[in-house]
Amino acid sequence: MKYALSLLACLMLCLFGCLEDEDNANSGGAAGSGGDAGAGGNAGSGGDAGSGGDAGTGGDAGSGGDAGTTGGCMEEECGPTTLAARVCEDGMTVARSDCRVNEAGMCRWVSECPEDVPCTAEECGPAPGAPNYLCEDGVTMAGPGACRRSNDWSCGYPFVRCPEEETCEPGESFIAADGCNTCECPSSGRKSEAACSEIVCGPGPDECTPGESIPAGDGCNSCECPESGNSDEGINCTEAVCTTPCREQSDCLDTQFCDFSDDKCGAGQEGTCNGIPEICPNGGVGVCGCDGTYRTNGCELAGSGTDVFRFGGCSTDDPAQFACGDMLSCNAESEFCEITPNDAIGDGQPEFYIGCRPLPDRCRQGDCGCLNLPEGPGAPSCFDGTGKTFVFGMGG
């Protein structure tokens, strides 16, 4: 019995010893498992050996690896910025630049304005409890607006206020908002309560009806009104050369001369305003201009602001005579020059018949009005711009 009790006591001591060793081993492994955040946590599993748990605490140092990996980029990774500075929608704020990782995983510079970055629910916070209401203008909704990012990059709910009521002097008239009707200010002095005329307004000076033709900016061509209805956006639709018609020099600008293709100075075909030449060749057989000016060539005449009159009109070496065509001279006091087209067709036929005719009594030189020529299609025409009288008759 004595030996049996001794044996039982030994067994119990052994059992308690084993349990204590297991507790020590387990507690060592727990310390080691603290390395879950870093690779050192695996070493913690060595706590099976008991003291190995102390080595497992090295996992705390391993957890520092999280701080070394970041979703952003260092500025040197993006390199020098190549983004051009831009102004945001408010016209004052300059967009900020930030070095970030793009979708391809590369570090790149990004330019953004406050309006480019939506506000998060956390940034906005709870919405204000104030109600919204329609202002008297029937358009503006007053009260807290939608959450948005302001120019200082903070997010919040802007409070919209009703526009101030426009006032006027009772009894006085003022122009309506449409720009063409007239209103009379009521006794309340509030423009919104005024009675106004109801005239149908046409487009304003800068407005047009889309699709309709409008004058081009060059003053001679035409353009089509754009969809926006803003004529300023459509007046430069063409680069066609302007051809302003003219009958006399006064129809053209100071930088132009009236150029007649038939060189009849308006007695025949209509002319076109063309630019005055800046450089001309020297020399020529001599030509007479529509205003009686004599120059050595047609370019010099154009440079002086007049076209060539092919039938003469300038004084000859004899002051008592004036040139009528290339070969004939008429009396400067008593005769006019008559040019009649030749209807005959064939080789050797002259283009015109030219002759000197006596001026009617009481008719002075260079005055077509005294001739009383018939009017209408095919009737003779007269030219006196050179100071001499020329009559272009019907064909003969």
pLDDT in tens, 337-379: 998 888 877 788 888 889 999 999 889 999 998 988 888 877 8
| 384 Cβ neighbours under 8 A, 6+ residues apart | 366, 367, 368, 390
Q: What is the mean pLDDT of residues 50-61?
A: 37
Distance CA 4, CA 9 (A): 9
> pLDDT confidence of 390, banded at 50, 70, 90?
very high
Residue 289 sits in the same domain as residue 352? no
- Whether 103 and 110 have beta carbons less than 8 Å apart is answered as no
Domain range holding 182? 170-202
Confidence of residue 27 (pLDDT cuts 50, 70, 90): very low
- Tell me 98's DSSP state: E
pLDDT in tens, 86-96: 888 888 888 88
Amino acid at position 122, single letter: E
Distance CA 378, CA 383 (A): 16
Which of the two residues, 241 and 270, has the higher pLDDT score?
A: 270
**19-50: burial string, b at 16+ Cβ within 10 Å, e else:** eeeeeebeebbebbbbbeebebbebbebbeeb
Q: How far apart are CA 153 and CA 113, in angstroms?
A: 9
Asked if residues 334 and 364 have their Cβ atoms less than 8 Å apart, the reply is no
Nearest to 380 by CA among 350, 336, 348, 321: 336
255 and 233 inside one domain: no
Q: How many CB atoms lie within 10 A of CB 292?
A: 18
Q: Assign residue 326 a region: left if phi > 0, alpha if psi is -120 to 50, beta otherwise?
A: alpha
**CA distances (Å), 364 to each of 249, 332, 354, 356, in order?**
24, 10, 20, 15
Say what percent of the chain tops pLDDT 70: 79
Whether 248 shows a pLDDT value over 50: the answer reads: yes
pLDDT at 168: 92
Strand partners, 346: none
User: Rounded to an integer, what distance in angstroms lies between the CA atom of residue 396 and that of residue 393?
Assistant: 8
Structure confidence at residue 86 (pLDDT): 83
For residues 391 and 347, membership in a common domain is answered with yes
The enclosing domain of 291 has a CATH number of 3.30.60
Is residue 63 predicted with pLDDT exceeding 50?
Answer: no
Same domain, yes or no, for 328 and 366? yes
Any domain includes 21: no
Is the pLDDT reported for residue 68 higher than 50?
Answer: no
Confidence band, pLDDT 50/70/90 cuts, at residue 391: very high
> Given a cut of 80, is residue 79 above it in pLDDT?
yes
Q: Which two tokens stand for residue 317?
A: 């070496």
pLDDT at 6 over 50: no
Say whether both 385 and 341 belong to one domain.
yes
Predicted TM-score (pTM) of the model is 0.39
Do residues 187 and 226 both lie within one domain? no
C-alpha dihedral over 352, 356, 360, 364, to 10 degrees? 100
Mean pLDDT confidence for 104-115: 87
**Side-chain-side CA neighbours of residue 362 (13 Å):** 3
Of 310, 335, 368, the domain-final residue = 310
Query: Which of 310, 328, 348 is at the close of a domain?
Result: 310
The answer as to whether 336 is a domain residue is yes
Do 196 and 207 touch, CB atoms closer than 8 A?
A: no
* 8 A C-beta contact, residue 44 and residue 51: no
Q: What is the pLDDT of residue 203?
A: 64
How large is the average pLDDT for residues 3-8?
A: 46
pLDDT 10s digits, 153-167: 899 999 888 888 889
Same domain for 229 and 258, yes or no, is no
Q: How many structural domains are present in the chain?
A: 5
What is the distance in angstroms between the CA of the first residue and the CA of the last residue of the chain? 172
Q: Residue 13 pLDDT > 80, yes or no?
A: no
Q: Which position has the token pair 């076209």?
A: 307
pLDDT (tens digit per residue) in 164-219: 888 999 999 999 888 889 999 999 998 888 999 988 776 666 778 888 888 877 66
Q: Are residues 304 and 228 in the same domain?
A: no
Claim to verify: residue 176 and residue 153 sit in the same structural domain: no
Q: How does pLDDT run across 215-240, given as a tens digit for each residue?
A: 877 666 788 888 888 887 877 777 66
Residue with tokens 């002095």: 189
Average pLDDT, the chain: 78
Domain membership of residue 148 (yes or no) is yes
Higher pLDDT, 283 or 37: 283
11 inside domain: no
State the amino acid at position 180 in one-letter form.
Answer: C
- Identify whether 46 is part of a domain: no
DSSP letters for 139-168: S-EEEE---EE-TTS-EE-PEE-PPPPPB-
What pLDDT, on a 0 to 100 scale, did the predictor assign at position 359? 94
352 and 389 in a single domain? The answer is yes
In a domain, 52, yes or no: no
Q: In this structure, is residue 128 part of a structural domain?
A: yes
> Which residues fall within 8 angstroms of residue 151, CB to CB, at 6 or more apart?
88, 90, 92, 93, 114
Residue 252: closest CA among 267, 273, 269, 271: 273
Residue 28 lies inside a defined structural domain of this protein? no
CA of 352: how far to CAs of 121, 202, 268, 394, in Å? Answer: 94, 55, 14, 11
**Three-state secondary-structure class, residue 134:** strand
Name the percent of the chain lying above pLDDT 90. Answer: 18
